[in-house]
Amino acid sequence: MRFLILIIAVITSVSLHADGLVKADNPELEFVLNNMVWMSEVKRFEREGFEVRMFKTASMDWCAALYSCRARERLYIATTEGDGGEGPVQLVYHLPEVHQWDVVSWDDEQPKVLLKSIVLLDNGQKESITYRLELHAYSASLERAD
């Protein structure tokens, strides 16, 4: 008898949980979640009261299979700020697609980071540009550093 009750409980719980599974209908979110690569560890800035996560996604160009072409990367920056027990303020920024994004260095004292982008030019040469990204709990700014 106990065995029969156990079987009924297992079958019932499986069918109840199966109904809660919903397929996401957001192609951009699906792409980001399936292709994201973490750029660095979570950076916490206690004095400013927020933390930063950075990750990138790579998409294949139409010519990605050819020798001279590469995937293009988009860099995402997510910030989370707490409000003394209230729900956190969460923002996400993204930078334009380039062929490669790299973190050069973080400022240990302030929420600033140097980023390098690499773009493949039509003539096959690489152009490297360094940017300074400054983050705040409610905003961010990006400027060329070179």
What are the pLDDT digits (tens) for 34-56?
Answer: 888 888 888 888 888 888 999 99
- Asked whether residue 100 carries a pLDDT value surpassing 80, the answer given is yes
Q: What is the pTM of this model?
A: 0.73
pLDDT of residue 24: 82
Domain map of the chain by residue range? 25-144
Per DSSP (E only), the strands in the chain are 36-38, 43-45, 50-59, 72-83, 86-94, 100-106, 112-120, 126-135, 140-144
Q: Which of 49, 53, 94, 88 is nearest to 74 (CA)?
A: 94
Q: Which residue has the tokens 């690499």?
A: 118
The 8-class DSSP code of residue 107 comes to -
- Asked whether residue 122 carries a pLDDT value surpassing 90, the answer given is no
- Asked whether residue 98 carries a pLDDT value surpassing 80, the answer given is yes
- Pairing between β-strand 50-59 and β-strand 43-45 as defined by DSSP bridges: antiparallel
pLDDT of residue 138: 83
Q: Could you tell me the pLDDT band of residue 60, with boundaries at 50, 70 and 90?
A: low
Return phi, psi of residue 97, to 5°: -70, 135
Please state the rounded mean pLDDT for residues 83-99.
79
More confident residue, 59 or 43: 43
